[in-house]
Amino acid sequence: MKPDRQAVIREIISSQTIETQNQLMEALAARGVRSTQATVSRDIREMRLVKDLGPDGRYRYQLPSKDITPEFDLKLRKIFRESITSYEVAQNIVVLKTLPGLASAACSALDSMKLPHLVGSLAGDDTAFLAMSDKDSAVEFCKLIEEMLK
């Protein structure tokens, strides 16, 4: 069931602009696939879907680039998840607070993920500054952080 549902999700996000989990649930229902918000959220996390700015100027779910092997990607996400203590948006900058000595590891993990709209990162001991392409990208990235930390 899950592989079938995730295959339908791939088809949906490849052919439609899906901005929210609710839109994805509605698109699944229209194709006869019933799901809950929790299930859709888990699918998004497992499929490593990212939100990217589409050609129409709206953010939408997309499949991630295939540049990183799954095992390496999982390790980087684990490092990121275990090192972050807080995050906040300041215009187009995302400020991450980490456990002491881990800001560099968190930035390395993020840089390796090749996230859209991440222009660059700068790490100190327990604080990292992430320059995003604009404020909306910074806000969207914080939502992604929230999902990754769950």
66 vs 93, more confident: 93
130 or 54: which leads in pLDDT: 130
Contacts of 103 (CB under 8 A, 6+ apart): 83, 96, 123, 124, 125, 126, 127, 128
By the 8 A CB rule, do 112 and 119 touch? no
Phi-psi region of 132 (alpha: psi -120 to 50; beta: other; left: phi over 0): beta
Amino acid at 132: M
Q: What pLDDT was estimated at residue 35? A: 92
pLDDT of residue 70: 55
For the segment 23-62, what is each residue's pLDDT rounded down to a tens digit? 999 999 999 999 998 999 889 888 888 888 777 778 889 8
